[in-house]
Structure 1
Amino acid sequence: MNQNDLLNLRHATLDEARNDMYERLSSRDANYSLDAPLYNDPHMFRIDMEEVFQKEWLFVGMSSEVPKRGDYFTVEIGQNPVLVIRDADGSVNAFHNTCRHRGSRLCTEKHGKVANLVCPYHQWTYDLKGNLLFAGMEMGNGFDKQKHGLKRAHCKTAGGFVFVCLANEAPKGDFDDFLQTLEEYMEPYDVENTKLAIESNMYERANWKLVLENNRECYHCAANHPELLNTLLEWDDTNDPRAPKDFLDHYQAQADKWDAESIPHAHKSFGPGLRNRIVRMPLKKGTQAMTIDGEAACKKLLGRVNNPELGSMRILHLPNSWNHMQSDHFIVFRVLPISAQETMVTTKWFVHKDAVEGVDYDPERLRKVWDATNEQDRVLGEQNQLGINSIAYQPGPYSETYEFGVMNFIEWYSDTMLKNLKK
């Protein structure tokens, strides 16, 4: 069998996998988990990457990570290295992090600062807007630099959040409506005047969908997250069917204080499966932040915030992010697939840009609760994956009262895949 035969066989196998995926998603029971191949099959994973992570808007980081001209951060979206950089005009742009000469990665560090972008391989040089400035006389007199600028990725920012899309044409719909609301809800925090205090990258041997499913319910919290439950109330919002009256009374008392300071808190959601969702929820009575003792983790409050009891404003963006905004710091989470059964979960903690480490905040105290929670979730996700890999696994039923968030996620995933597979 020659190389062309192998290539044709691979394509045929992938086409079969696409058809198989379409049939499985079309006929699935909405109240049950997915079939095993959707969690562990390499071909199905490749389709996930092509139809979700190379087509949809993805959260990659915060604009305050690139505060000045030439500041950049990098991110790996499957096999696609991406570079996010602030240019001389103050705009935040995203480029494919690959040189137009022979494809080498330009920036190899997670964070950095440059005057221009210089390829380490042969020193091709680009400005901060991706224009090719220098390729050397070796390319000859007929070489046109204007045709060899960096390839852009779609990039949008709102409320300090940076999103990219790798598709040739970015999807439309209600994403811009979400960004407008995000801008409004993030205004009190003044993200441009925050800084990255801590970054954690956790490797998890589980499919990315299992990571998201775990996040979308607190059914498992009581038995697994003692540190988190020191402050977190598990009710998802005031419409949570399990929410008792004392929680609703607590919410209303806090909401009255938020209204007095013009702090947005009403539940806003956009898209199928509540894909984009913002809601502010109070923490337990007498607590201020998600720390081990419930006290604030940083002495400097964010932006125009005066009330230390802002609770947690929860922001969801599918397919790859959930976030907790608090009065003194905020935490963002980014999920990026590696393989069918491997995922990278990145957690970042942000504080006021003038906060001094060791004086205004203690990094270990800042991160303690979520380090513990992430590790607990890693173990749960990996055990979930191992069970799904068993020949005995078959899709199981979701609880409509405890796992409605998981059902929403699977609804979004299924609708998105079916839509994209049709194209």
Structure 2
Amino acid sequence: MQISKPSISDLLNSRKPGHSLPAGLYTRDDVFEADMEVFFKNQWINIALDCDVPEPGDTYVVDVGKTSLIVLRDDDNQIRVLHNVCRHRGTRILDPGQHMVAKLVCPYHQWTYELSGDLLHAPRMGKDFDTSCRGLKTVNFVSVGGLIYVCLGDNPPADITSLINAMEDRLAPYDIRNAKIAYQMDIIEDGNWKLTMENNRECYHCAGSHPELCVSFIDFRFDTEYENDEEREIALEQQALYNERTQEWEKAGYSSNVVAQLEHCNTNFRTQRLIIGGAGESQTPDATAASKKLMGTMTRKDLGDVHLWGHNCWNHFMGDHAVTATAIPLSSGKTLVRTKWLVNKDAVEGVDYDLDKLTSVWIATTQQDADLVARSQAGVEDPSYIPGPYSDYTEKELDKFAVWYIDLMKASGY
């Protein structure tokens, strides 16, 4: 007798508070399709940076599921996001990646579009053919301090304003909009996108898995529960240092306090200016700055790490450089993680910065995380998997992520 599988609704309702998700929410293809609709179409997602297209004519093509997007800078130096679908017979105009173009020309029948997306020329369609209503379809987008977010749905969530209000002032000194991409790395993790994001939202695993990162990254406890006296003493010292640094940074005009929108919302994010360990300057092998030219208008190397995460991204902004990462689901068991290292637009490799020092910590960390996510995916696919309890001490953010995920799934009719 064949046993029917539980519905998505059944899976959502079976999740026990304080525990990881039921296996099917990580492994099933129908759940993946639902996730793409709910979280990667109808919510704001981070897909690119202003500095991906630094000059007029620069284009950057990103695929999200079956949707292909052209991020470009037009002749008026304005950023636009367009659907990469010719209005003739639907042909993809550009391949994924970066290009420099004067016009957007469909390779199939040479329909030609201005960088505004307006249709300029449609050969052999007749002299009475109306080009005015056949421009490329536009996409809802917003640049948040130089990070480009899009919403592919018809009703973009209004609470993106909370993210904008939190980050525009915080990111202004780094001038991300005019930074330079020094290096990019793509890695495909063999795991569901939720496992990728869960792994990023906790540092329970850091001490045993990320020796390079732990030179500079301090595993700060975001709660007030302690396992033993030693842990309590360390946490209280960290809290005192955070309070001291945050007060000094805020007084100097650098926004630093926690701003979080994690539950009962659409746009999920958290930001805080984190302290850096060791030399205290940057996330490098020795925690000193990798670039002699600081970001934007920065004049200090001791302003910590402005950390920002969303439901498909995480970012670290430091005095000398920034690291940004976006996660784009490819299937129920594969996720593209695209990491970029940013420096001052005038910084010169080999003169102002050494590329290995700039990138080695997060290259190692990203590869280590990919291995952990693959192990997690293999585990949730195992028939013996039973959702386990999150640590009240180090994994509270994961529980909030699970609550947010389930609430939005149910609100979407699942």
TM-score (norm 2): 0.93
Q: Which amino acid aligns with 2:397?
A: G
Which position in structure 2 is the counterpart of 1:264?
Answer: 255
1:79 and 2:71 aligned? no
**Partners of 1:291 and 1:269 in 2: CA distance:** 27
Which position in structure 2 is the counterpart of 1:112?
Answer: 99
**Partners of 1:88 and 1:185 in 2: CA distance:** 29
1:89 and 2:65 aligned? no
**Partners of 1:240 and 1:194 in 2: CA distance:** 38
1:198 and 2:180 aligned? no
TM-superposed CA distance for 1:336, in Å, is 0.2
> Is 1:287–1:294's contact at 8 Å kept on the other side of the alignment?
yes
Which position in structure 2 is the counterpart of 1:314?
Answer: 307
> Is 1:51–1:421's contact at 8 Å kept on the other side of the alignment?
no
**Residues 143 and 308 of structure 1: is their aligned pair in 2 closer, same or farther, counting only changes over 3 Å?**
same
TM-superposed CA distance for 1:143, in Å, is 2.5
**Partners of 1:327 and 1:317 in 2: CA distance:** 22
1:208 and 2:201 aligned? no
Which position in structure 2 is the counterpart of 1:12?
Answer: none
> Is 1:273–1:410's contact at 8 Å kept on the other side of the alignment?
no
**Partners of 2:246 and 2:384 in 1: CA distance:** 48
> Is 2:144–2:163's contact at 8 Å kept on the other side of the alignment?
no
**Partners of 2:314 and 2:225 in 1: CA distance:** 22
TM-superposed CA distance for 1:140, in Å, is 2.4
**Partners of 1:179 and 1:90 in 2: CA distance:** 21
1:417 and 2:396 aligned? no
- The superposition leaves residues 148-172 of structure 1 with CA deviations (integer Å, 9 ceiling, x where unpaired) of 1111111111211100111122122
**Partners of 2:413 and 2:290 in 1: CA distance:** 46
SS in 2 for 1:59: strand
Which position in structure 2 is the counterpart of 1:148?
Answer: 134
TM-superposed CA distance for 1:44, in Å, is 1.2
Q: Which amino acid aligns with 1:406?
A: L
> Is 2:278–2:287's contact at 8 Å kept on the other side of the alignment?
no
**Partners of 1:144 and 1:129 in 2: CA distance:** 17
**Partners of 2:109 and 2:130 in 1: CA distance:** 17
**Partners of 2:389 and 2:152 in 1: CA distance:** 35
> Is 1:273–1:408's contact at 8 Å kept on the other side of the alignment?
no
1:135 and 2:127 aligned? no
Which position in structure 1 is the counterpart of 2:230?
Answer: none
**Partners of 2:77 and 2:408 in 1: CA distance:** 34
**Counterpart mapping for 1:201-240 below 5 A:** 201-235=186-220, 237=222, 239=223
Structure 1 residue runs of 5 or longer lacking an equivalent are 1-15
Which position in structure 1 is the counterpart of 2:229?
Answer: none
**Partners of 2:125 and 2:28 in 1: CA distance:** 45
**Counterpart mapping for 1:248-327 below 5 A:** 248-272=239-263, 275-318=268-311, 320-327=312-319
Which position in structure 2 is the counterpart of 1:123?
Answer: 110
SS in 1 for 2:412: helix
**Partners of 1:236 and 1:156 in 2: CA distance:** 32
Aligned equivalent of 1:387, options 379, 384, 406: 379
**Partners of 1:353 and 1:386 in 2: CA distance:** 42
TM-superposed CA distance for 1:270, in Å, is 2.2
Q: Which stretch shows the higher mean deviation, 118-127 or 267-276?
A: 267-276
CA RMSD of aligned residues (A): 1.8
Q: Which stretch shows the higher mean deviation, 365-374 or 99-108?
A: 99-108
**Partners of 2:342 and 2:301 in 1: CA distance:** 16
TM-superposed CA distance for 1:285, in Å, is 4.2
**Residues 90 and 180 of structure 1: is their aligned pair in 2 closer, same or farther, counting only changes over 3 Å?**
farther
Q: Which amino acid aligns with 1:264?
A: S
TM-superposed CA distance for 1:198, in Å, is 0.5
**Residues 196 and 111 of structure 1: is their aligned pair in 2 closer, same or farther, counting only changes over 3 Å?**
same
Matched length? 402
Q: Which amino acid aligns with 2:164?
A: L
TM-superposed CA distance for 1:259, in Å, is 3.2
**Partners of 1:146 and 1:392 in 2: CA distance:** 59
**Partners of 1:59 and 1:273 in 2: CA distance:** 20
**Residues 273 and 217 of structure 1: is their aligned pair in 2 closer, same or farther, counting only changes over 3 Å?**
farther
Which position in structure 2 is the counterpart of 1:13?
Answer: none
Q: Which stretch shows the higher mean deviation, 97-106 or 239-248?
A: 239-248
SS in 1 for 2:329: strand
TM-superposed CA distance for 1:187, in Å, is 1.0
> Is 1:70–1:114's contact at 8 Å kept on the other side of the alignment?
yes
Seq. identity, %: 37
SS in 2 for 1:272: coil
**Partners of 2:129 and 2:347 in 1: CA distance:** 50
SS in 2 for 1:421: coil
SS in 2 for 1:152: coil
> Is 2:63–2:96's contact at 8 Å kept on the other side of the alignment?
no
**Partners of 1:144 and 1:42 in 2: CA distance:** 42
- The superposition leaves residues 250-270 of structure 1 with CA deviations (integer Å, 9 ceiling, x where unpaired) of 223323442353111011112
> Is 2:278–2:286's contact at 8 Å kept on the other side of the alignment?
no
TM-superposed CA distance for 1:50, in Å, is 1.5
Which position in structure 2 is the counterpart of 1:245?
Answer: 236
Q: Which amino acid aligns with 2:303?
A: L
1:401 and 2:393 aligned? yes
**Partners of 2:120 and 2:221 in 1: CA distance:** 51
Structure 2 residue runs of 5 or longer lacking an equivalent are 227-233
**Counterpart mapping for 1:369-380 below 5 A:** 369-380=361-372
1:162 and 2:132 aligned? no
Q: Which stretch shows the higher mean deviation, 261-270 or 377-386?
A: 261-270
1:40 and 2:27 aligned? yes
Q: Which has the higher helix share?
A: 1
